[in-house]
Amino acid sequence: MATSEFAQFPFYRTQAFVNGAWVDADDASTFAVHSPSTGVHLADVPNMGRAETRRAIEGASAAWPAWRAMTAKERGALLREWFTRIMAHRDTLARLMSQESGKVITESLGEVTYGASFVEWFAEEAKRAYGDVIPAHTRDRRLVVIKQPVGVVAAITPWNFPLAMITRKVAPALAAGCPVVIKPPAETPLTALALAALAEEAGIPAGVLSVVTTNHSSEVGLELCENPLVRKLSFTGSTGVGRTLMAQCANNLTKLSLELGGNAPFLVFDDADLDAAVRGALAAKYRHNGQTCVCVNRILVQDGAYDAFVERFAAAVGGLRTGDVLDTQVQVGPLINEKGVQKVEAHIADAVQKGARLLRGGHRKEGLYFEPTVLADATTDMRIAREEVFGPVAPIFRFTSEDEAVRMANDTEFGLAAYFYSRDVGRCWRVSEALEYGMVGVNEGLISTEVAPFGGVKASGMGREGSKYGLDSFLETKYLCYGGI
């Protein structure tokens, strides 16, 4: 059994972590965690509800005064300890993540490093929550601006980045002086609990970080949205759930950060370095089997480069290996669940029925595996042009002019990431400025890093995570006016 491999590790936990204690659900109920790649039962974890969530929120509120009273340097030192422990257990955390999420091991190793980088980054950023001294408008006043933590934070995270989507929220929150209650996805709770165990070992005090595991996400979500002690909700996931959470938070006017769905275009102009474009498209499309919010969802190629790009890209996709997620030679693992496979099949069937040419793949393999797929001659009336496929399917569209390319790229409710390849500097500036997206890769398919702001516009959400901008999400700006000087 896969779990026997981890039982020896102190951070392998199958109980929830609430207010510094490892606990079961009040009614002792649990839900099962399975491996998407093998179907093997990995563990049973507590299936908690509103009462347990309420206690976690109240515990966070009780822990907040002491946590905010620590200096930024003291909080930063504890974050540094957490970072060190995550990296010390990188290989085992990666193996746990691969079995829980179906992410291939090479990508899981990358995610542990990527996720830990947010903890390292905000261990330092904690000390840069600068305020201002403003030249007074009258002689007898002195004006100062200070930054203060917003308060109890609720974090709801997705299965596709079981570790990084937690640290990308928790690290800045803790750095700013905020306690956090995490609701991880039912698909990947073990990675979240391992992070909590390492945080406990690093010395992060009881109540400052809690993990409420549940299969009743909407019930726990309601408590996180409706409890007035929660001052900030940070969510990463689908746009539909993001809208639900935003509506549920309206009554308390809870501050929100929403990292939602995408529909990333990948533009290839006639003047592009075609081999670089193929490499970039391959990386940006098939990363985590196409199950990331910044994965390419539409490839748009200018007439002059179309045939050559299609031929080279299809050949490159043919070289991708699917198989055992723990095999370092495998690039493509399973989809997360049956629903994901059916969405991929439906998009392919719709596209082919509307005239797309199937160049590679197109068929389900054993279990939740699906062949990396390439569709040529895609058109904008197809479902795959408007919906996030969240799977290993690359539809290729054709365009003639730069204006047409930008219009097609922007013709979506989403606005998270976009990519384009061109070696014309004027075109690079024009297209970068015209694309309605939060992030744009110019001659680059892999753009995510802790040092740059991650986030989208339109239906892809609001707020930015990571970078120097990421701390502000968890800080209030207070203006002090000293009179009678």
Ligand X SMILES: NC(=O)C1=CN([C@@H]2O[C@H](COP(=O)(O)OP(=O)(O)OC[C@H]3O[C@@H](n4cnc5c(N)ncnc54)[C@H](O)[C@@H]3O)[C@@H](O)[C@H]2O)C=CC1
Give me Rg for the CA atoms of the chain.
Answer: 23
Binding mask 376-415 for ligand X (x = CB under 6 A): ------------x-x-------------------------
Q: Strands of 16-18's sheet, edge to edge?
A: 21-23, 16-18, 209-211, 180-183, 152-156, 230-236, 255-259, 461-462
Q: Is 165 in the site for ligand LO4QSZO4 (CB under 6 A)?
A: yes
Give the residue with the Cβ less far from ligand LO4QSZO4, 160 or 373.
Answer: 160
Which position has the token pair 């299936």? 47
Q: Which two tokens stand for residue 155?
A: 């974090």
Q: Which span (59-67, 116-124, 156-164, 405-413) binds ligand LO4QSZO4, by CB under 6 A?
A: 156-164
Name the catalytic one among 120, 259, 388, 465. 259
Residues of span 189-248 touching ligand LO4QSZO4 by CB under 6 A: 236
Closest to 214 measured CA to CA, from 346, 52, 69, 450: 52
- Cα–Cα distance between 357 and 9 in angstroms, integer? 49
Q: Is 118 in the site for ligand X (CB under 6 A)?
A: no
Binding ligand LO4QSZO4 (rule: CB under 6 A), the pick from 64, 67, 161, 269 is: 161
- Angle (CA) 216 94 113, round 5°: 105
Which position has the token pair 């569709």? 375
CB contact at 8 A, 452 and 299: no
Q: Is 167 in the site for ligand LO4QSZO4 (CB under 6 A)?
A: no
Q: Which span (153-161, 274-282, 320-328, 338-346) binds ligand LO4QSZO4, by CB under 6 A?
A: 153-161
Q: Name which of ligand LO4QSZO4, ligand X, none residue 420 binds, using a CB cut-off of 5 to 8 Å depending on partner kind.
A: none
State the minimum distance, in angstroms, from the CB of residue 178 to ligand LO4QSZO4: 21
Q: Which residue is nearest to ligand LO4QSZO4 (CB)?
A: 448
- Cα–Cα distance between 427 and 429 in angstroms, integer? 5
Binding ligand LO4QSZO4 (rule: CB under 6 A), the pick from 192, 294, 348, 351 is: 294
Q: Is 454 in the site for ligand LO4QSZO4 (CB under 6 A)?
A: yes
How would you classify residue 34: left for phi > 0, otherwise alpha for psi between -120 and 50, otherwise beta? beta
- Cα–Cα distance between 389 and 430 in angstroms, integer? 28
Binding ligand X (rule: CB under 6 A), the pick from 223, 259, 402, 450 is: 259
State the minimum distance, in angstroms, from the CB of residue 241 to ligand X: 4
Strand-pairing partners, residue 57, are none
Residues of span 190-249 touching ligand X by CB under 6 A: 217-218, 221, 236-238, 241, 244
Q: How many residues bind ligand LO4QSZO4 (CB under 6 A)?
A: 11
- Cα–Cα distance between 121 and 137 in angstroms, integer? 37
Strand-strand pairing, 417-421 and 264-268: parallel
Q: Is 160 in the site for ligand LO4QSZO4 (CB under 6 A)?
A: yes
368 φ, ψ to 5°? -100, 15
- Measured from the Cβ of residue 110, the count of other Cβ atoms closer than 10 Å reads 17
Closest to 272 measured CA to CA, from 148, 421, 485, 134: 421
- Cα–Cα distance between 155 and 217 in angstroms, integer? 12
Give the residue with the Cβ less far from ligand LO4QSZO4, 229 or 452.
Answer: 452
Binding ligand LO4QSZO4 (rule: CB under 6 A), the pick from 14, 61, 292, 297 is: 292
Catalytic site includes residue 259: yes
* Interacting residues toward ligand X by CB under 6 A: 156-160, 183, 185-186, 217-218, 221, 236-238, 241, 244, 259-262, 293, 388, 390, 416
Q: Which residues are catalytically annotated?
A: 259
* Interacting residues toward ligand LO4QSZO4 by CB under 6 A: 158, 160-161, 164-165, 236, 292-294, 448, 454
